[in-house]
Structure 1
Amino acid sequence: MAPGQYSADPVKHTLSPIVTGATVIGMKYGGGVLIACDTLASYGSQARYKDVCRLKKVGKYTIMGASGEFSDFQYISDMLDELDDQDFLHEDNCHMGPHEYSSYIGRVMYNRRSKMNPLYNQFVIAGKKDGKSMLSFVDHQGTYFEEDYIATGFGSYLAMPILRNEWRADLTLEEAKAMVVKCLKVCFYRDCRAYNKIQIATCDGETQSISDPITMDHFWGHSLWLEKRLEQTSRGTADTW
């Protein structure tokens, strides 16, 4: 645009994520699927909103979690609620499941990406229908794939090694919960956008549930961390002269 000219379009801020959520962990276990994330929505780098739910029940057989821009997650949530209402009004006793919702979200994300105005989210969509568990990932470009365990955001670096080493297809619900707590605790220690209050959503094909917030234990009293910085520096350089 030439200097001095103005666009007729309104000013948009959709390309600059402001309020964002961090890691989401998803995995299959012996009886269904599970998704977990913390309750923090950061305003830039400030830990501003500490009681935010980034998990959602969708339809009768599906749950989902989102990292990234929280307002875009709210936008997608409203679209899914409308889609669920339309599904209900058909009254054909045929309900959408996790495959259908994953495909829908993937097409929406790709459409917005193609318009150069993406929704800045990474979604974990999970569910169990007709006895089959399903876990999928969709990002802001519309990339879609299915896996046995998934981590978004910084958790794709910090949590995935734990999941690769410890995940089994026959995990019990309690073992799966313990594993996601372990993953999110590592993220809390290593990721400045993570928080120690988490929620866990489960779906076993008959019921969907989102837990109340759970506060994870943590420990910061390591002796090396408590020493004065000058003493650490002096001790570390004493033998170099």
Structure 2
Amino acid sequence: MKLTKLSIIIPVYNEAATVRLILDKIKAVQLINNIEKEFVIINDNSQDDSKKIIEKFIEENPSLTIIFHQHSENKGKGASIHTGISMARGEYLIIQDADLEYDPEEYNLLLKPILAGVADVVYGSRFLDKKGKRTSYFWHYNANKFLTFLSNLFSGLKLTDMETCYKLVNTKMIQSIQLTEKRFGFEPEITAKISRIKDIRLEEVAISYASRPYNEGKKIGWKDGVRAIYCILKYGLFRMN
């Protein structure tokens, strides 16, 4: 398909230390085939200076295509992604965390299978052949591997990294899917629901990853892992939605 615009969904919650850096990184990326970038920034009622920093970036970059939405209360990462998806106008969209764990320079790696016509959805895997330095906590690494295995068991997919932030999907397709998970349960929910689409072609590409420590704002914890297991069962085994 012809792809002219990529919407980049950026959920933000208390990311004053990194949000300007990630926005500048996205701005600097040159997408293949001169694809236009659309910033879709959702501030989830941050209690730090994130909103001011985002507004300054917008003011300083009037030539960029930017959609900015402010939640009046903190709703969770998944809810922020839902809001961003509903506002996206590009033919495809990708999710970008506001920290520095994922590198926007790798958007083109995910775009290539779409542009080649061999995939409808592309996940960026942190666990395929490593092409650069990657770091991750032992617990997170093994929890992600287990959750991916469990997800594959019920979805029939053969993923190596279900929990990845980098999911490149057709905008109209994902807008047609009813999503309900408001926190980190978004990842297993969207994966389960994508897997049900007839003849869906899902590819993975290797990406780099640099996990940040909790003292720098990492938010996911063991409770989110438990919720992920529940969501895999709910949307996979029990098919409640």
Higher strand share: 1
Pair in the same fold by TM > 0.5? no
Indicate the structure (1 or 2) with the bigger Cα radius of gyration.
1
Range of TM-score over shorter length: under 0.3
TM-score when scaled to structure 2? 0.28
